[in-house]
Structure 1
C-alpha cells in the first residue's frame, strides 16, 4: 500500500518524523507498506520548514507542491489543485494527514474526491472556537476521515458523540511526543544563550501568534506590558513568528528585559523551553511539550483543543484578558503551580501503533 504522508506547516513536521521512522522499521521486517512524502509548501520560510527536516532526520520530500503564501482560501485552492494533479498522475492508496493546518483539510478533501481513503492523525481534538481556522480544518477533516488516530480519551469521546463508528477510532497516543522523547538528548543550546548569560529557571519563554492576541496592536501591547510588570527581573525570550514581528515593529514595543529573537529550530527551541521558569504561549502544541517536560505553562487563550494539558499536565488557560496575567505569576512565584503528570500513551510509541494498524489495513 502506498501512503501519501502530508506535511505543510511547522506543527506537522514533528508529527510525521516518527511515522516515517516507524514505516522504515516496518519495511525492514518485511512489510509491503510504502510512503510518499508530500510537502505542500504551506510554510516556505527556511526557519519555519527546511531546518526542521534536517534536525528531525526527515527525508527530502518526494513531492513539493509549492503552494506558498496567500489567504486561507488562496492556500487551500493552491494545495487542492496541485495535489489533485499529483493524484491524477500517480494515485496513492491512502492519504495520511496530521494535525489541523490548511494542508490537512485541503488534502483530505482532494483525496476523498479522488476516492482515496483518509487517515487523520490527531483526530477528534476540539477547541469549540469556530473563530480559529484550525477548528474548521479539524471539523471538515474529521467529517470525511476513514481512519481516526487519537491522542486522548477526550478525543475518542468527541468522535463517539459525533457518530463515528468505534471500529474506525484508534487510540494511539501522541506522535509529537514521540519526537520530543527521541530528540530530547539532542536538544541544542541556542547561539544567544551564553551571550545573554541565561541561567536554568532564570528566564521566561514567550510565543504569541494567534490573531486574537497579536492582530490588535493595543491588545498586544497590554499583554506584553502586563507580562513585563509581573515577571520580576527575569529576561523574557520571545522567538517571534513572522506575522507577530511585523506587528511588533509597528507598535515599537521595547523593554530592557524583552529579547526578540528569530524563530528557532526544534532542538534549540526545546532546549530553551526545558530550562525555562515558565512558558507563556497561545500555541496548542507547546502545551503538550511543556506537559511532558514538567514546565509550567500559561496559555493566553479562552479555550484549548488539548484539555488534557490542563486536567493532567502543567498548563493553565488564562484567557485573553491582560488582567489574568498578574495572578498567574503570583501563583507561580509563590511556588503553588501544579506539578502535573503525563497523559496516557504519551510514551514515545504512538507512531509504532499507527504503522502497525496501517500494516493491518493494507493486508485486510
Structure 2
C-alpha cells in the first residue's frame, strides 16, 4: 500500500480552527482502501498562552501535537528564525512528501521557507487572501507563503483572482472553499446550547460581577480588538474607547472579550478604569471557541478587527463592523453579499456605520463552497497531486 507522508503546522489560535477539519478529513481518508496518509502535526508553540492553546485543542478535538517546538513569544524575526531552526530538524527526521501550512501567522511563513529550502512540496490552506496593506505582518506572511507553495488552496474566487494577477499558474490554484466554516458547521450545535449569561458570568474580569444585572435577554453587542493599528496609539485607542463607553454602550450591553495585549495597552494608556467603570461594558477574559461562537450567534452587532469573526458573521448573518481600513476577506463585505462593513478606526465613521447596520437586521450569506466540506476536498487534492507526480 502506498503511503503519503504529510506534516501539518499550527502556530497560534487562528490556526487551530483551520487544522481540526483537516485532521478529521485525513482520519476519514485512512478508513478507505488505497493510499494511506501518515500524518504528523507540528505545533510551533507561537501562541501567547499555552493553557489557552491546550483548551482549544481539547474543545475542537485536535489530537495532541506529535511535536511541539516550544517557540513562544518574541519579535517577528525571533519567532520566524527560531521556528525555521527547529522545524528544519523535524523535516529532516520525518522526510515528508508534503508540508501543509494554514493561515498567515509567523509559523506559516517560517515553515514555508524551511519546506522549500528542504525541497519538500508545500501546500497552503487559505491561500490568495490579500489586504494590500504591507504594514500588516500577516500580509507579508501571506505573500511569502503563496509565492513558495506548490498547491494553493483558496477560500473564494476573489482569492483565485489575486493569485492570477501575481502570475501563479492555474495548476497550482485549487479553489476548495473556507475550512473555517467546516469547523463552524461541526461545532455549531454544541455552541448553540450554551447560555450567554453563564458564559459572561464565568468569564468576567475581576470586579465586574455587579454588572450582570444589565444583561437582560439577548440584546447585546460583541467586541474584539487587538491589532496594533487600533490599540498601539493612545489617541486612536482613546477615541475608540470614548465612542464605545460614552455612546455605543448606551444602546445595549457591550460584551468586550479583551486580548491580553489589548488589556496591557488599556492600562498603559490609562484607559482601563474608564472601561471597567461603565455599567453597560462587561469586560471579559479571552473566550474559548464555542463560547465566542455562541456570543456571535446571539449578538445584535459585532465590532471586531479579527478576520475569522468576519467570516463567521458572514455565515451567521450577524451585522459586523470591521475596525480596519482594509480586509483580506472582501467576500465577507456587504458589497459582496456578506454582513460586514469596513469602518477603520475613525470615530465618526464607526458611529455612522453602527446606526446604519442596525437597521439591516440579520442576513446570512454563504459564499460558494463554504459548505463544511472544504477539508475533504483538500485531502483528495493532495493525494491526487501526489499520484500525478
TM value normalised by structure 2 = 0.90
Which residue of the partner structure matches residue 115 of structure 1? 119
Which residue of the partner structure matches residue 373 of structure 2? 349
Output the CA distance in 2 between the equivalents of 1:48 and 1:222.
30
Does residue 262 (structure 1) correspond to residue 270 (structure 2)? The answer is: no
3-state DSSP of counterpart to 1:232:
helix
Does residue 202 (structure 1) correspond to residue 219 (structure 2)? The answer is: yes
Of 87, 90, 93, the match for 2:94:
90
Does residue 189 (structure 1) correspond to residue 195 (structure 2)? The answer is: yes
Alignment of structure 1 residues 147-226 onto 2, 5 Å: 147-187=151-191, 188-189=194-195, 191-193=198-200, 196=212, 198-199=215-216, 201-226=218-243
Alignment of structure 1 residues 17-36 onto 2, 5 Å: 17-30=20-33, 31-36=35-40
Of 246, 256, 264, the match for 1:238:
256
Which residue of the partner structure matches residue 205 of structure 2? none
Aligned pairs, number = 363
Partners of 1:33 and 1:362 within 8 A in 2: no
Partners of 1:68 and 1:75 within 8 A in 2: yes
TM value normalised by structure 1 = 0.96
Which residue of the partner structure matches residue 206 of structure 2? none
Deviation at 1:211, TM superposition (A): 0.2
Deviation at 1:106, TM superposition (A): 0.3
Deviation at 1:219, TM superposition (A): 1.4
In structure 2, relative to structure 1, the CA distance for the partners of 1:231 and 1:258 (3 Å cut) is: closer
Output the CA distance in 2 between the equivalents of 1:284 and 1:32.
34
Which residue of the partner structure matches residue 317 of structure 1? 342
Which residue of the partner structure matches residue 4 of structure 1? 7
3-state DSSP of counterpart to 1:320:
coil
Output the CA distance in 2 between the equivalents of 1:222 and 1:234.
19
Deviation at 1:17, TM superposition (A): 0.3
Which residue of the partner structure matches residue 363 of structure 1? 387
Gaps of 5+ in 2: 202-208
Output the CA distance in 2 between the equivalents of 1:330 and 1:23.
45
Which residue of the partner structure matches residue 304 of structure 1? 327
Output the CA distance in 2 between the equivalents of 1:164 and 1:175.
22
Deviation at 1:320, TM superposition (A): 1.8
Partners of 1:126 and 1:135 within 8 A in 2: yes
Query: Over aligned residue pairs, what C-alpha RMSD do you find?
Result: 1.5
Of 63, 67, 70, the match for 1:63:
67
Which residue of the partner structure matches residue 17 of structure 2? 14
Tell me the alpha carbon deviations over residues 29-48 of structure 1, each in whole angstroms, 9 at most, x when there is no partner. Answer: 12311210000000041454
Deviation at 1:249, TM superposition (A): 1.9
Deviation at 1:93, TM superposition (A): 1.3
Output the CA distance in 1 between the equivalents of 2:129 and 2:254.
31
Output the CA distance in 1 between the equivalents of 2:51 and 2:156.
30
Partners of 1:42 and 1:103 within 8 A in 2: yes
Deviation at 1:162, TM superposition (A): 0.9
Which residue of the partner structure matches residue 106 of structure 2? 102
Output the CA distance in 2 between the equivalents of 1:141 and 1:281.
26
Which residue of the partner structure matches residue 79 of structure 1? 83
Deviation at 1:338, TM superposition (A): 7.1
Partners of 1:227 and 1:325 within 8 A in 2: no
Partners of 2:344 and 2:350 within 8 A in 1: no
Partners of 1:150 and 1:173 within 8 A in 2: yes
Output the CA distance in 1 between the equivalents of 2:74 and 2:53.
17
Output the CA distance in 1 between the equivalents of 2:217 and 2:371.
26
Partners of 1:312 and 1:340 within 8 A in 2: no
Output the CA distance in 1 between the equivalents of 2:65 and 2:355.
47
Deviation at 1:201, TM superposition (A): 4.1
3-state DSSP of counterpart to 1:5:
strand
